[in-house]
Every structure is written in structure tokens, then in C-alpha cells.
Amino acid sequence: IARGRVDVVNTQRDSTNVVYDRSLTVELWYPADLNGQVPGVTYEAITRNPGIVAQLQGRAVQGADPDSSGAPYPLVIISHGHPGNRFLLSHTAESLASKGYIVASIDHTDSTYESEQSSPSTLYNRPLDQRLVLATLAEVEESEPLFGMIDTDSTGVIGYSMGGYGLINNLGGAYNPEMVDSFLAPPNGLLAEHAENNPEFKSNLDPRIKAGVAVGPWGMNYGL
């Protein structure tokens, strides 16, 4: 949960920013000890037509015991497009977990098929959401199953479309200042936080993000 985040959807231009506690749903995959359990899982994913639920067949075992023998494992964060959901790259998540990574795939609020809002919320929140998930997983408590298993100092991000847009920003690609007041932008100059003329831009980044794979990142088509 990001406490005190600007609520882009409910903030009006030239008015006081509305703030709220922004929550995200995250799916985790990890190296596991199956203890004889047969691999196989069905992910139910809302589609672009929210009235249709797709069933995606995988080879993970939900709730399996973590295998800590090779821990700590590097972290990979998966960030979907707009709209999308946390299961669209489940095949990639499973493959990475089988090779010794902890994978965290995000449902971005205001940007899933069932919660979709107009793009300004996504433009502002996407890089912040990616950093929030990293910061949260860096504070896993001793009572939680993955305690001591996640090497958040070695984090990579896979971003598709809008996920790639947020990733490029988190890798140091600041936004064109012309974007701040463009027709696509959220109100009250919020995107200035992510723009290249913000003197605090680089210090806001998380140096634990060491690598990224941007798949069809959004933004260049508008020169942003």
C-alpha cells in the first residue's frame, strides 16, 4: 500500500490534489520444493472483455513450500500494459522462478481490465508502483514464508507497453518536460516528478533496480 499517493482519477485540474492509500495486488512465483506434488495450475484471468474469464494453464504449484537452498534469489518485477493483469506473463514468471528467481507480477490499480481508468493515472503511477513493490518486498518480515529469500539489491523489471514506459523511467530515462502539460497528462503538473527538468529525479530512483527488459514500451510514438 502506498499511503498518501495522489488520487489522479479523482483530482480535478487547478484544484487541490486528492490523496488516498493506493493498494496493489501482486502475484509471487518462487523456487519451490514440491514434495511430490504434481506440477499444474490454472490461472483465471479477466480479459479485455471483462465478461470473459480466460483460463491459462501453467506448471506451478500454488502454495508450495519455498526452496531456500539457493537463497537469496534475485527479484524480477513484472509490469503489464494498459490495460492488462498480473497473469498475462505467467509463463515467463514460471520459467524465471524455475531458474532461481523470485518473481512479483503486479495488478496495477486503474490499469487492469476490470479497473481500467483513462491513461493519466497510469502515466503518473506506473514507475511509482514498480518502486513500491520493490520497497515492500525488501521489508518482508520474519513471520512471512519468503523471509530471507529475496535479494532485492539485485532487482530486474520486465515491462510490457505501459510497463515498459514505467521501467524506462526507473532506469533513468526521464520524461520530456513537454509531456507535463500535454493533453495526455494528469492534472496539476504531476508528471513533473518524472521529468528530466526535475532536479530530484535521479535521487528519487531506486538503485536496487539493476536491469530491465522493456517490451514494446509506450511513449516514443508521442515523442515523450
- For residue 187, pLDDT beyond 80: yes
- What pLDDT shows up at residue 144? 92
Range 61-90 average pLDDT: 95
pTM metric for this prediction: 0.95
| Mean pLDDT rounded to a whole number for the chain | 94
Query: pLDDT class for 49, splitting at 50, 70, 90?
Result: confident
The per-residue DSSP string of 103-170 comes to EEEEE-TTSBTTT---HHHHHHHHHHHHHHHHHHHTT--TTSTTTTTEEEEEEEEEEETHHHHHHHHH
Task: Please report, for residues 31, 69, 97, 102, 104, the alpha-carbon distance to residue 62 in angstroms, rounded to integers and kept in the order given.
Answer: 12, 19, 13, 14, 14
* 64 grid coordinates: 508450495
Q: Which helix (H) or strand (E) holds 210?
A: strand 209-215
Range 72-85 average pLDDT: 97
Tens-place pLDDT, residues 128-167 = 999 999 999 999 998 898 999 999 999 999 999 999 999 9
* 76 grid coordinates: 524480477
> What is the percent of the chain with per-residue pLDDT over 70, rounded to a whole number?
100
- What pLDDT shows up at residue 134? 98
